[in-house]
Structure 1
Amino acid sequence: MCKLSLCLLVAIFGFLIAGSLAGVNRDSYVHRDIIVVKDVRDFAAKHPGLKLQRMDRQPVSARAAAAQSVRYTLGARITDDRLVAQNADVFNYASSNDVSLQVTYPETGTGAIVTYVEIVCTQDNNEGNAFVIAGGIGQRFISILIEAKQTNSFAYQALYYGVD
Protein backbone atom coordinates (compact mmCIF):
# COMPACT_ATOMS: atom_id res chain seq x y z
CA MET A 1 0.00 0.00 0.00
CA CYS A 2 1.37 3.40 -0.86
CA LYS A 3 2.03 6.17 1.62
CA LEU A 4 -0.64 8.35 0.01
CA SER A 5 -3.39 5.82 0.68
CA LEU A 6 -2.26 5.58 4.27
CA CYS A 7 -2.34 9.36 4.60
CA LEU A 8 -5.86 9.39 3.14
CA LEU A 9 -7.10 6.87 5.65
CA VAL A 10 -5.42 8.64 8.55
CA ALA A 11 -7.05 11.92 7.49
CA ILE A 12 -10.44 10.24 7.18
CA PHE A 13 -10.12 8.65 10.60
CA GLY A 14 -9.03 12.00 12.06
CA PHE A 15 -12.05 13.67 10.49
CA LEU A 16 -14.36 11.05 11.95
CA ILE A 17 -12.90 11.63 15.40
CA ALA A 18 -13.07 15.42 14.97
CA GLY A 19 -16.74 15.19 14.01
CA SER A 20 -17.48 13.39 17.25
CA LEU A 21 -15.94 16.16 19.36
CA ALA A 22 -19.11 18.27 19.63
CA GLY A 23 -18.61 21.61 21.30
CA VAL A 24 -14.84 21.72 20.75
CA ASN A 25 -13.56 25.04 19.41
CA ARG A 26 -11.96 24.13 16.07
CA ASP A 27 -9.54 27.04 16.34
CA SER A 28 -7.98 25.63 19.50
CA TYR A 29 -5.34 22.92 19.45
CA VAL A 30 -6.68 19.43 20.02
CA HIS A 31 -4.26 16.51 20.38
CA ARG A 32 -5.35 13.44 18.46
CA ASP A 33 -3.61 10.12 18.18
CA ILE A 34 -2.73 9.07 14.64
CA ILE A 35 -3.66 5.56 13.59
CA VAL A 36 -1.78 4.12 10.63
CA VAL A 37 -3.99 1.97 8.43
CA LYS A 38 -2.15 -0.84 6.67
CA ASP A 39 -5.07 -2.37 4.74
CA VAL A 40 -7.75 -0.16 3.13
CA ARG A 41 -10.20 -3.05 2.72
CA ASP A 42 -9.88 -4.00 6.39
CA PHE A 43 -10.37 -0.37 7.47
CA ALA A 44 -13.47 0.01 5.26
CA ALA A 45 -14.90 -3.25 6.66
CA LYS A 46 -14.52 -1.93 10.21
CA HIS A 47 -16.26 1.37 9.28
CA PRO A 48 -19.28 0.34 7.18
CA GLY A 49 -20.81 3.85 7.19
CA LEU A 50 -17.72 5.43 5.62
CA LYS A 51 -18.23 6.37 1.98
CA LEU A 52 -15.50 7.80 -0.22
CA GLN A 53 -16.69 9.61 -3.31
CA ARG A 54 -13.98 10.29 -5.88
CA MET A 55 -14.33 13.66 -7.59
CA ASP A 56 -14.16 13.96 -11.39
CA ARG A 57 -10.62 14.74 -12.53
CA GLN A 58 -9.44 16.63 -15.62
CA PRO A 59 -5.92 17.86 -16.42
CA VAL A 60 -5.73 21.56 -17.32
CA SER A 61 -2.96 23.64 -18.85
CA ALA A 62 -0.71 25.15 -16.21
CA ARG A 63 0.66 28.68 -16.03
CA ALA A 64 4.21 27.69 -15.13
CA ALA A 65 6.20 25.56 -17.54
CA ALA A 66 7.43 23.11 -14.88
CA ALA A 67 4.09 22.80 -13.08
CA GLN A 68 0.97 20.89 -14.02
CA SER A 69 -2.61 21.53 -13.03
CA VAL A 70 -5.49 19.20 -12.31
CA ARG A 71 -9.14 20.22 -11.93
CA TYR A 72 -11.43 18.21 -9.64
CA THR A 73 -15.19 18.79 -9.91
CA LEU A 74 -18.32 17.54 -8.25
CA GLY A 75 -21.98 18.34 -8.96
CA ALA A 76 -23.24 20.84 -11.52
CA ARG A 77 -23.97 24.53 -11.70
CA ILE A 78 -27.72 25.20 -11.51
CA THR A 79 -30.00 28.21 -11.96
CA ASP A 80 -29.68 30.71 -9.09
CA ASP A 81 -26.63 29.10 -7.51
CA ARG A 82 -23.76 31.42 -6.63
CA LEU A 83 -20.19 31.33 -5.40
CA VAL A 84 -20.63 30.92 -1.63
CA ALA A 85 -17.00 30.40 -0.59
CA GLN A 86 -13.49 29.97 -1.86
CA ASN A 87 -10.16 29.17 -0.33
CA ALA A 88 -6.63 28.74 -1.60
CA ASP A 89 -3.14 28.07 -0.33
CA VAL A 90 0.40 27.39 -1.56
CA PHE A 91 2.88 24.91 -0.08
CA ASN A 92 6.58 24.53 -0.96
CA TYR A 93 8.83 21.69 0.19
CA ALA A 94 12.61 21.17 0.14
CA SER A 95 12.15 17.70 -1.36
CA SER A 96 9.37 15.75 -3.05
CA ASN A 97 6.48 14.85 -0.73
CA ASP A 98 3.14 13.13 -0.89
CA VAL A 99 0.67 15.85 0.06
CA SER A 100 -2.67 15.23 1.75
CA LEU A 101 -4.93 18.19 2.53
CA GLN A 102 -8.49 18.42 3.83
CA VAL A 103 -10.71 21.35 2.80
CA THR A 104 -14.14 21.96 4.31
CA TYR A 105 -17.12 24.19 3.53
CA PRO A 106 -18.28 25.95 5.59
CA GLU A 107 -15.36 26.29 7.96
CA THR A 108 -17.83 27.12 10.75
CA GLY A 109 -21.59 27.44 11.09
CA THR A 110 -24.18 26.44 8.52
CA GLY A 111 -23.56 26.95 4.83
CA ALA A 112 -25.66 27.17 1.69
CA ILE A 113 -26.85 23.98 0.00
CA VAL A 114 -23.84 22.84 -2.07
CA THR A 115 -24.50 22.45 -5.80
CA TYR A 116 -21.03 22.40 -7.36
CA VAL A 117 -17.41 22.27 -6.20
CA GLU A 118 -14.34 22.96 -8.32
CA ILE A 119 -10.79 22.54 -7.04
CA VAL A 120 -7.77 23.38 -9.19
CA CYS A 121 -4.44 22.01 -7.96
CA THR A 122 -1.06 23.03 -9.36
CA GLN A 123 1.82 20.70 -8.60
CA ASP A 124 4.98 19.18 -10.10
CA ASN A 125 3.03 16.34 -11.76
CA ASN A 126 -0.61 15.47 -12.36
CA GLU A 127 -0.74 12.48 -10.02
CA GLY A 128 -3.31 12.71 -7.26
CA ASN A 129 -6.96 12.42 -6.30
CA ALA A 130 -9.71 14.22 -4.47
CA PHE A 131 -12.36 12.46 -2.39
CA VAL A 132 -15.47 13.68 -0.63
CA ILE A 133 -15.18 12.29 2.89
CA ALA A 134 -18.23 13.95 4.49
CA GLY A 135 -21.31 15.86 3.39
CA GLY A 136 -21.72 16.48 -0.31
CA ILE A 137 -23.89 17.87 -3.07
CA GLY A 138 -27.38 18.77 -1.83
CA GLN A 139 -26.14 19.20 1.73
CA ARG A 140 -25.03 22.27 3.70
CA PHE A 141 -21.59 20.82 4.40
CA ILE A 142 -18.81 19.19 2.42
CA SER A 143 -15.34 18.02 3.38
CA ILE A 144 -12.85 16.97 0.72
CA LEU A 145 -9.49 15.25 0.95
CA ILE A 146 -7.01 16.31 -1.75
CA GLU A 147 -3.94 14.20 -2.53
CA ALA A 148 -0.88 14.95 -4.64
CA LYS A 149 2.02 12.57 -5.12
CA GLN A 150 5.73 13.38 -5.00
CA THR A 151 5.67 17.14 -5.48
CA ASN A 152 7.98 19.93 -4.31
CA SER A 153 5.26 22.54 -4.65
CA PHE A 154 1.52 22.33 -4.26
CA ALA A 155 -1.11 25.05 -4.67
CA TYR A 156 -4.87 24.78 -4.71
CA GLN A 157 -7.92 26.95 -5.19
CA ALA A 158 -11.32 25.60 -4.09
CA LEU A 159 -14.58 27.18 -5.27
CA TYR A 160 -17.90 26.24 -3.63
CA TYR A 161 -21.24 27.06 -5.28
CA GLY A 162 -24.60 26.79 -3.58
CA VAL A 163 -28.15 28.02 -3.09
CA ASP A 164 -29.88 29.25 0.06
Structure 2
Amino acid sequence: MHRNLADRRSEQGFTLIELLIVMSIIIIIVTIALPNITRYRRQGNETSAVGSIRALVAAELQYSQTYPQNGYSCSIGALGGEKGTSPTPAAAGLIPPDLATGQKAGYTFAIVNCPKVTINNQDQYTGYQITAVPQAIGKTGDRGFCSDENQQIMVDPKGGTSCSVPLQ
Protein backbone atom coordinates (compact mmCIF):
# COMPACT_ATOMS: atom_id res chain seq x y z
CA MET A 1 0.00 0.00 0.00
CA HIS A 2 2.89 2.36 0.71
CA ARG A 3 4.39 1.72 -2.69
CA ASN A 4 1.14 2.54 -4.51
CA LEU A 5 0.90 5.90 -2.75
CA ALA A 6 4.53 6.70 -3.60
CA ASP A 7 3.94 5.86 -7.30
CA ARG A 8 0.99 8.21 -7.42
CA ARG A 9 2.98 11.07 -5.93
CA SER A 10 5.75 10.68 -8.48
CA GLU A 11 3.30 10.69 -11.40
CA GLN A 12 1.51 13.91 -10.44
CA GLY A 13 2.34 17.11 -12.37
CA PHE A 14 4.58 17.85 -15.32
CA THR A 15 8.33 17.71 -15.54
CA LEU A 16 10.32 20.81 -16.38
CA ILE A 17 11.15 19.43 -19.84
CA GLU A 18 7.47 18.85 -20.60
CA LEU A 19 6.60 22.40 -19.57
CA LEU A 20 9.40 23.84 -21.71
CA ILE A 21 8.23 21.86 -24.73
CA VAL A 22 4.64 23.09 -24.33
CA MET A 23 5.81 26.70 -23.89
CA SER A 24 8.00 26.41 -27.00
CA ILE A 25 5.05 25.16 -29.05
CA ILE A 26 2.87 28.04 -27.80
CA ILE A 27 5.58 30.57 -28.68
CA ILE A 28 5.91 29.13 -32.19
CA ILE A 29 2.13 29.29 -32.72
CA VAL A 30 1.95 32.90 -31.49
CA THR A 31 4.90 33.88 -33.68
CA ILE A 32 3.15 32.48 -36.73
CA ALA A 33 -0.31 33.85 -35.87
CA LEU A 34 0.56 37.40 -34.75
CA PRO A 35 1.40 38.85 -38.20
CA ASN A 36 -1.81 37.33 -39.57
CA ILE A 37 -3.88 38.89 -36.80
CA THR A 38 -2.53 42.39 -37.51
CA ARG A 39 -3.00 41.88 -41.25
CA TYR A 40 -6.63 40.84 -40.70
CA ARG A 41 -7.17 43.87 -38.47
CA ARG A 42 -5.80 46.20 -41.19
CA GLN A 43 -8.01 44.53 -43.78
CA GLY A 44 -11.02 44.92 -41.49
CA ASN A 45 -10.23 48.61 -40.98
CA GLU A 46 -9.92 49.09 -44.76
CA THR A 47 -13.26 47.37 -45.34
CA SER A 48 -14.83 49.62 -42.71
CA ALA A 49 -13.26 52.70 -44.36
CA VAL A 50 -14.73 51.78 -47.75
CA GLY A 51 -18.14 51.29 -46.13
CA SER A 52 -17.83 54.66 -44.40
CA ILE A 53 -16.88 56.35 -47.69
CA ARG A 54 -20.00 54.84 -49.27
CA ALA A 55 -22.11 56.10 -46.35
CA LEU A 56 -20.61 59.60 -46.70
CA VAL A 57 -21.26 59.64 -50.47
CA ALA A 58 -24.90 58.62 -49.88
CA ALA A 59 -25.22 61.26 -47.15
CA GLU A 60 -23.81 63.94 -49.50
CA LEU A 61 -26.38 63.01 -52.14
CA GLN A 62 -29.21 63.14 -49.62
CA TYR A 63 -27.88 66.42 -48.18
CA SER A 64 -27.83 68.06 -51.62
CA GLN A 65 -31.43 66.94 -52.22
CA THR A 66 -32.63 68.05 -48.79
CA TYR A 67 -30.80 71.41 -48.83
CA PRO A 68 -30.51 72.34 -52.53
CA GLN A 69 -29.70 75.96 -51.65
CA ASN A 70 -26.50 74.71 -49.95
CA GLY A 71 -25.56 72.10 -52.56
CA TYR A 72 -23.21 69.55 -50.99
CA SER A 73 -21.82 69.70 -47.48
CA CYS A 74 -18.16 70.57 -47.05
CA SER A 75 -18.10 69.33 -43.46
CA ILE A 76 -18.45 65.85 -42.01
CA GLY A 77 -19.88 67.43 -38.88
CA ALA A 78 -22.70 68.99 -40.92
CA LEU A 79 -23.66 65.53 -42.18
CA GLY A 80 -23.90 64.32 -38.56
CA GLY A 81 -26.02 65.71 -35.78
CA GLU A 82 -27.35 65.12 -32.30
CA LYS A 83 -30.02 62.49 -31.70
CA GLY A 84 -33.39 63.92 -30.80
CA THR A 85 -32.82 67.28 -32.50
CA SER A 86 -34.38 68.51 -35.70
CA PRO A 87 -32.12 68.27 -38.77
CA THR A 88 -30.60 71.50 -40.05
CA PRO A 89 -28.02 72.29 -42.75
CA ALA A 90 -25.40 72.52 -39.97
CA ALA A 91 -26.40 69.17 -38.40
CA ALA A 92 -28.36 67.10 -40.90
CA GLY A 93 -28.29 63.81 -38.95
CA LEU A 94 -27.47 61.73 -42.04
CA ILE A 95 -24.52 59.73 -40.67
CA PRO A 96 -23.85 57.97 -37.34
CA PRO A 97 -22.20 59.98 -34.55
CA ASP A 98 -19.01 57.88 -34.60
CA LEU A 99 -18.43 58.71 -38.28
CA ALA A 100 -19.40 62.37 -37.77
CA THR A 101 -16.30 62.80 -35.56
CA GLY A 102 -14.12 62.13 -38.61
CA GLN A 103 -12.38 59.13 -37.03
CA LYS A 104 -13.51 55.53 -37.26
CA ALA A 105 -11.83 52.10 -37.28
CA GLY A 106 -8.27 53.41 -37.52
CA TYR A 107 -9.02 55.89 -40.32
CA THR A 108 -9.38 59.66 -40.45
CA PHE A 109 -12.06 61.05 -42.76
CA ALA A 110 -12.27 64.54 -44.25
CA ILE A 111 -14.26 66.43 -46.86
CA VAL A 112 -11.96 68.70 -48.87
CA ASN A 113 -11.68 70.52 -52.21
CA CYS A 114 -15.20 71.94 -52.17
CA PRO A 115 -15.75 74.34 -55.09
CA LYS A 116 -18.54 76.80 -54.43
CA VAL A 117 -20.59 79.47 -56.13
CA THR A 118 -22.49 82.28 -54.51
CA ILE A 119 -26.13 82.63 -55.51
CA ASN A 120 -28.25 85.38 -53.88
CA ASN A 121 -25.62 85.84 -51.15
CA GLN A 122 -25.79 82.10 -50.36
CA ASP A 123 -22.72 79.88 -50.77
CA GLN A 124 -23.55 76.70 -52.66
CA TYR A 125 -21.01 73.87 -52.83
CA THR A 126 -20.98 72.27 -56.27
CA GLY A 127 -18.57 69.43 -55.49
CA TYR A 128 -16.55 67.72 -52.80
CA GLN A 129 -13.84 65.14 -52.22
CA ILE A 130 -14.01 62.67 -49.36
CA THR A 131 -10.71 61.26 -48.13
CA ALA A 132 -9.97 58.40 -45.74
CA VAL A 133 -6.39 57.88 -44.60
CA PRO A 134 -5.02 55.40 -42.04
CA GLN A 135 -4.13 56.94 -38.70
CA ALA A 136 -0.93 54.85 -38.73
CA ILE A 137 0.08 53.47 -42.13
CA GLY A 138 0.98 49.80 -41.81
CA LYS A 139 -0.77 49.47 -38.44
CA THR A 140 -4.37 50.65 -38.83
CA GLY A 141 -4.45 50.34 -42.62
CA ASP A 142 -2.27 50.26 -45.71
CA ARG A 143 -4.29 52.14 -48.33
CA GLY A 144 -6.00 55.52 -48.55
CA PHE A 145 -9.43 55.97 -50.14
CA CYS A 146 -11.15 58.87 -51.89
CA SER A 147 -14.44 59.65 -53.58
CA ASP A 148 -16.18 62.70 -54.97
CA GLU A 149 -19.50 63.81 -56.42
CA ASN A 150 -19.03 61.20 -59.21
CA GLN A 151 -19.44 58.53 -56.49
CA GLN A 152 -16.54 56.33 -57.65
CA ILE A 153 -14.21 55.14 -54.88
CA MET A 154 -10.52 55.45 -55.73
CA VAL A 155 -7.49 54.02 -53.88
CA ASP A 156 -4.06 55.37 -52.96
CA PRO A 157 -1.93 52.23 -52.45
CA LYS A 158 0.57 54.24 -50.35
CA GLY A 159 -2.04 55.29 -47.76
CA GLY A 160 -2.40 58.95 -48.69
CA THR A 161 -4.89 61.06 -50.61
CA SER A 162 -3.35 60.73 -54.09
CA CYS A 163 -6.08 58.34 -55.16
CA SER A 164 -5.59 57.22 -58.74
CA VAL A 165 -6.60 53.54 -58.83
CA PRO A 166 -10.29 52.55 -58.95
CA LEU A 167 -11.43 50.28 -56.13
CA GLN A 168 -11.92 46.74 -57.42
User: Same fold, TM exceeding 0.5?
Assistant: no
Greater percentage in strand: 1
TM-score, normalised to structure 1, is 0.28
Structure ranking higher on relative contact order (CA contacts 8 Å, 6+ apart): 1
Greater percentage in helix: 2
TM-score, normalised to structure 2, is 0.27
Which protein has the larger Cα radius of gyration, Structure 1 or Structure 2? Answer: 2
